Amino acid sequence: MPVDVYLNVAVSGLLTGLVYGLMALGLSVIFGVVRVVNFAHGEMMTIAMYLAIVLFQSLHLDPLVMMVPIAGVLFAFGYALQAGLINPFINRPEHAQFILLVAVALILVNVLLLIFGPDARSVQTSYAYDSFALGPLIVDATKVYAGAAAIVVAAALFAFFRLSYVGKAIRACADNYTGALVVGLNVKRLYALTFGIGAACVGAAGSMLVLIIDVTPPLGPQYTLLAFVIVITGGLGSMPGALLGGVLIGMTEAMAGLLFTPSAKSMFAFAILVLVLLFRPQGILGKRAS
């Protein structure tokens, strides 16, 4: 096969991977701070995707434009979920928290199924079939826009955590729960805020992803799993790790789809997950837990 095909597929995978990375970023932030394994992560993204579709189909608003309001809705949802349901579970055993979120995920997926039915839906923007040509590279416009948007949002997130007061407060909670309490931080509120931010990430990622793929309710669990693979591969609690993992998985998926059958592409993601869990559980950029 000619080199440009590989190159195109790789770049395509990279751009999609950036969006995956943003989605996984949300999960990493939530786990890194609140220490809750959000098993409903993909489902939240699916909600965002359906929201984008509804807005597009009824009001003809471009998902990328709607990204901020959609992220806002997801933020509110995430905040409420954490404050209302999950906070009381902070001190319960790990598996109880996990199962709580499994229950939430189950409800979300099937409510979406009830409302929207099992058929695939998509968004056809005016630029859906456009592409950019750069030498031998031909890249879909949708993927370029989505990838670019992902980078922008990720950068904004980095800036928030590094530079803003609230961002630093959240990082303090993650580093030292008791210390944060002692200096007077309202940890529960910060946890809810963090969950909201993670959800907003996923909401933004959903608005981007809807340009690239079709939505069905079962997408939720699939993307939850993918988010876990990415976060564990890249390093739990590491923000650059989530992006790196996303790009890695995006490219692996794309190449696997090219070299083998498209349906086998997830098998590679899982193979990577198993290898990482066994041989480098802290992920590529993660810190080894002491």
Q: Is 37 in the site for other proteins (CB under 8 A)?
A: yes
Q: Does residue 120 bind other proteins (CB under 8 A)?
A: no
- Nearest approach, Cβ of 93 to other proteins (angstroms)? 9
Nearest to 128 by CA among 223, 206, 56: 56
Return the range that interacts with other proteins (CB under 8 A); candidates 66-74, 146-154, 190-198, 262-270.
262-270
- Of these, 1, 3, 59, 114, which contacts other proteins (CB under 8 A)? 114
Q: Which stretch binds other proteins (CB under 8 A): 44-52, 63-71, 96-104, 160-168?
A: 96-104
Is residue 264 close enough to count as binding other proteins by CB under 8 A?
yes
Interface with other proteins, residue 84, by CB under 8 A:
no
Closest C-alpha to 111, from 85, 77, 65, 70: 77
Size of the residue set binding other proteins (CB under 8 A): 41
Q: Residue 109 interacts with other proteins (CB under 8 A)? A: yes
Query: Which range binds other proteins by CB under 8 A, 112-120, 130-138, 149-157, 206-214?
Result: 112-120
Q: Are 97 and 191 in contact (CB under 8 A)?
A: no
Interacting residue with other proteins among 6, 98, 158, 160 (CB under 8 A): 98
86 with 37: CB under 8 angstroms?
no
Q: Which of 221, 241, 246, 250 binds other proteins (CB under 8 A)?
A: 221
How near is the Cβ of 111 to other proteins at its closest, in Å? 6
User: Considering the complex, what minimum distance in angstroms separates the CB of residue 269 from other proteins?
Assistant: 9
Binding site for other proteins (CB under 8 A): 37, 85, 88, 92, 94-96, 98-100, 102-107, 109-111, 113-114, 118, 217, 221, 225, 228-229, 232, 261, 263-264, 266-267, 270-271, 273-274, 277-279, 281
